[in-house]
Chains A and B, each alone.
Chain A
């Protein structure tokens, strides 16, 4: 390729990508991508799961080598390796947060920063100061001293973000930074991005969340099957199409469900869990979807884990009227609790096993086995059905799951849990990282389960989705339930206020209230859509 025109001038482009091809064996992840990323602006990269967004960012940041094509950094020099990207001050915050678990948060943030050392010697005081500066506004200061392994997924994402900031980058590449962030975290992130861009920085942001694109992006790149489908500014003229592209495609044929106030599917009393989880009472009726909101660290995921038996706790849990031993996942599953964990990399995906194995593992339906033996024909059909229903791409049952894109891995986790026979579904951020179409499919599957009479507990960071799927919303703050009300009697503002700990006006009937007697719409347009 001829030397790029940007080679000698800073120009208006921070990144110039020409003819970029990335092949993994026979998979073409990028099929010839040409884009220019404007300096001092936010460019959103959107597209379906598996369209090549993560791959594009990985190649730009030198993490994986390109098969063909070129990338030029903000200094006009070509980027081939990680070292080039570091020299050009390109920092990546990856989709799956990877931190050194045995190090503290401040050590993670300051890791490898020359400023945090005195020659070959460590300088903890400087490192701490650097970490505090970089994480200001992102992480509460007390978190800095904690071991990173103790953090939940959203905090780890913020640690990675702080670590990227500590590198004083010229270009920040953010891969789905908001996938599991709570409302507060999203605001902090948006503020950080705005500040960074105002100071002349360049941001490339991958997201499936409409709000990120509309609020932040100056221009948008749409990827389709490894090619650029569209690239251009975000303007009033294009906004509508972006909305259409990123809004959950709710299925028209979604089965309506109606909470049955006479049947309790799940009842928890006096739960005392680790790190201050204290839930006096939570009731989920059959056919009801209860959305759990709250800030990260408020105990949402802890509550979900305890309800699913994944973590020990004291207290009483009843499923369908029968008491279930707490802290025993086997007992919970035997009683009919299906669980979608929050952190798919660490606790849900079998990366070196096939897609089919990931969809089948741990499921105990009698139809899948004959005594100790697998019924492979049934298994195969089941896996293929789930791949189709949840839109796993590529639709190959034998592909190792670790080679799928992040969103497609999430579909495996959801498909596995929602296909077991269940009385209760505990879903922790079920649609994280999933594209608009698959989000609709997952919503439909949750509605389906509810229509079949299951009680559903869904932890949901995104308000739009929370209000879309929930019949009732429960807000946690500091490990306690601070609000429990039918959705139709709530506004996003009230939920946010409650999750931040402000007292909620006891407007209508509170905790344990019967579900609203309004027909449950299953065709509501998502809020925020014009």
Chain B
């Protein structure tokens, strides 16, 4: 036998269909749609369009927070302090309104402060000082609420700001403003993540930080910018919360970080980095909201909701894991 006696190469091997990551999201969307349809049949309260609108407006703040968190998780990390930041920004607004600043500068400065903390404190300590992201943001998780209590002297303080009131409670062409704001934030972040070089670098850093560095990505800047985006989003969520409460509250926002993170992970973003999408995060949150509404309206006691959400998270991530291994 000789080496030249080789059969013609078959055409099939080596070629593949590519597995669409979008396929998973389509399935998810269908599940949510079916849940909603079923709920509309069995739960008459849901049929009022106002009810749905109020629900969506209520959760817009958490959605914006989750969208920012997606950046941080994709580049590998987690910002534990987004809920705390949400409340803290309320305190800042309270202060600045007290100084007599106009609404525009107040909003701008509050978001700037949030971004500065994200970039210059979280990002700097994590990327440059190589401190663990969990420890750094855990520190903020305890520091920010404490500062907030100092600012507010420990009790809820009413804040009147027409712009924030309009943002949180107003409507434009029949749609609640928070929903519009969330859509705008989504659109901007989507372009940043999917259409800019920075966005691709966020994925690259999450996939293999050292490889990205050697390929020429300024990895520290990517990390710092991601924490800044996350903090600014938490700040926007804080403005919405303040506007809807009409007051700065010392315990505002606490706990929301985990709700938002649950949505991010349900949406297919992985802690291991380099994978995930903003659309997935939206679907994750939508799923959580629809599920808890169905359960509540269906008569399940409020106390059980958290347990159900936790189990759903485990199930979703478990199914995903099994699919990839099998």
A: which residues have CB within 8 A of B?
A: 24-29, 31, 50, 52, 220, 222, 224-227, 229-232, 237-238, 241-242, 245, 308, 310, 329-330, 333, 339, 341, 346-353, 357, 360-364, 369, 372-374, 376, 393-394, 396, 398-399, 416, 420
CA distance A492 to B199 in the complex (A): 48
CA distance A189 to B248 in the complex (A): 71
* Chain B 215-234 interface 0/1 with A at a Cβ cutoff of 8 Å (1 = within): 11110000000000000000
B5 interface contact, C-beta 8 A: yes
Q: List 14 A-B contacts (CB under 8 A).
A: A24-B16, A226-B13, A227-B10, A230-B6, A329-B213, A329-B214, A346-B210, A348-B214, A350-B204, A352-B207, A352-B274, A353-B204, A362-B216, A394-B16
**CB-defined contacts of A25 to chain B, threshold 8 Å:** 16-17, 19
Residue of A nearest to B1 (CB): A232
Contact status A339-B214, CB under 8 Å? yes
B60 interface contact, C-beta 8 A: no
Among A24, A361, A369: residue with most chain B CB under 10 A: A361
Q: A229-B6, A357-B204 are in contact. Are A394 and B15 (CB under 8 A)?
A: yes
Q: Which of A226, A308, A350 contacts B211 (CB 8 A)?
A: A350
Contact status B16-A227, CB under 8 Å? no
User: Main SS of the interface on chain A?
Assistant: mixed
* Range class of the B interface residue count: 35 or more
Residue of A nearest to B6 (CB): A229
Contact status A31-B12, CB under 8 Å? yes
Contact status B14-A362, CB under 8 Å? no
CA distance A456 to B239 in the complex (A): 56
Residue of B nearest to A309 (CB): B214
Per CB-CB distance, the 3 closest pairs between chain A and chain B, nearest first, are: A362-B215, A362-B216, A241-B3
Contact status B274-A394, CB under 8 Å? no
What's the least CB distance linking A280 to chain B, in Å? 26
Contact status B216-A398, CB under 8 Å? no
Chain B 166-207 interface residues, beta-carbon cutoff 8 Å to A: 195-198, 200-201, 203-204, 207
B4 interface contact, C-beta 8 A: yes
Contact status B208-A222, CB under 8 Å? no
Contact status A416-B207, CB under 8 Å? no
Contact status B3-A222, CB under 8 Å? yes
Among A330, A346, A352: residue with most chain B CB under 10 A: A352
Residue of A nearest to B216 (CB): A362
Q: Which of A227, A349, A357 contacts B203 (CB 8 A)?
A: A357
Contact status B215-A416, CB under 8 Å? yes
B130 interface contact, C-beta 8 A: no
What's the least CB distance linking B8 to chain A, in Å? 9
Chain B 1-35 interface residues, beta-carbon cutoff 8 Å to A: 1-7, 9-10, 12-19
CA distance A38 to B14 in the complex (A): 28
What's the least CB distance linking A354 to chain B, in Å? 9
Contact status A330-B216, CB under 8 Å? yes
* Chain B 89-103 interface 0/1 with A at a Cβ cutoff of 8 Å (1 = within): 000000000000000
CA distance A224 to B3 in the complex (A): 12
B212 interface contact, C-beta 8 A: yes
**CB-defined contacts of B208 to chain A, threshold 8 Å:** 346-347, 349-351
Q: Which of A28, A362, A369, A420 contacts B12 (CB 8 A)?
A: A28
**CB-defined contacts of B75 to chain A, threshold 8 Å:** none
Among B5, B12, B14: residue with most chain A CB under 10 A: B14
Contact status B13-A374, CB under 8 Å? no
Chain B 228-274 interface residues, beta-carbon cutoff 8 Å to A: 274
What's the least CB distance linking B99 to chain A, in Å? 35
Residue of A nearest to B201 (CB): A361
Residue of B nearest to A308 (CB): B214
**CB-defined contacts of B214 to chain A, threshold 8 Å:** 308, 310, 329, 339, 341, 347-348, 362
CA distance A312 to B275 in the complex (A): 31
What's the least CB distance linking A427 to chain B, in Å? 13
CA distance A130 to B281 in the complex (A): 52
What's the least CB distance linking B211 to chain A, in Å? 5
CA distance A399 to B7 in the complex (A): 28
B: which residues have CB within 8 A of A?
A: 1-7, 9-10, 12-19, 195-198, 200-201, 203-204, 207-208, 210-218, 274-275
* Known contacts A27-B15, A351-B208, A362-B212, then 19 further A-B pairs from the complex at CB < 8 Å, ordered by chain A residue: A26-B15, A28-B13, A28-B14, A226-B10, A232-B1, A238-B2, A241-B2, A339-B214, A341-B214, A348-B215, A350-B208, A353-B203, A353-B204, A353-B207, A361-B215, A361-B216, A364-B216, A372-B198, A399-B18
**CB-defined contacts of A347 to chain B, threshold 8 Å:** 208, 210-211, 214
**CB-defined contacts of B215 to chain A, threshold 8 Å:** 348, 361-363, 416
What's the least CB distance linking B188 to chain A, in Å? 13
Contact status B218-A330, CB under 8 Å? yes
**CB-defined contacts of B203 to chain A, threshold 8 Å:** 350, 353, 357
What's the least CB distance linking B49 to chain A, in Å? 38
What's the least CB distance linking B104 to chain A, in Å? 26
CA distance A396 to B196 in the complex (A): 22
Q: Which of B10, B18, B212 contacts A361 (CB 8 A)?
A: B212
**CB-defined contacts of B212 to chain A, threshold 8 Å:** 350, 361-362
Residue of B nearest to A340 (CB): B214
**CB-defined contacts of A31 to chain B, threshold 8 Å:** 10, 12-13
Contact status B13-A353, CB under 8 Å? no
Contact status B197-A374, CB under 8 Å? yes
**CB-defined contacts of B14 to chain A, threshold 8 Å:** 27-28, 50, 225-226, 393-394
Residue of A nearest to B210 (CB): A347
What's the least CB distance linking B179 to chain A, in Å? 27
Contact status A373-B196, CB under 8 Å? yes
Q: A241-B2, A362-B212, A372-B197 are in contact. Are A26 and B217 (CB under 8 A)?
A: no
**CB-defined contacts of A369 to chain B, threshold 8 Å:** 197
Contact status B2-A237, CB under 8 Å? yes
CA distance A173 to B200 in the complex (A): 39
What's the least CB distance linking A507 to chain B, in Å? 38
What's the least CB distance linking B9 to chain A, in Å? 5
Contact status B200-A374, CB under 8 Å? yes
Contact status A27-B13, CB under 8 Å? yes
Contact status B216-A329, CB under 8 Å? yes
CA distance A26 to B16 in the complex (A): 5
What's the least CB distance linking B128 to chain A, in Å? 14
Among B9, B10, B211: residue with most chain A CB under 10 A: B211
Q: A330-B216, A362-B204 are in contact. Are A399 and B195 (CB under 8 A)?
A: no
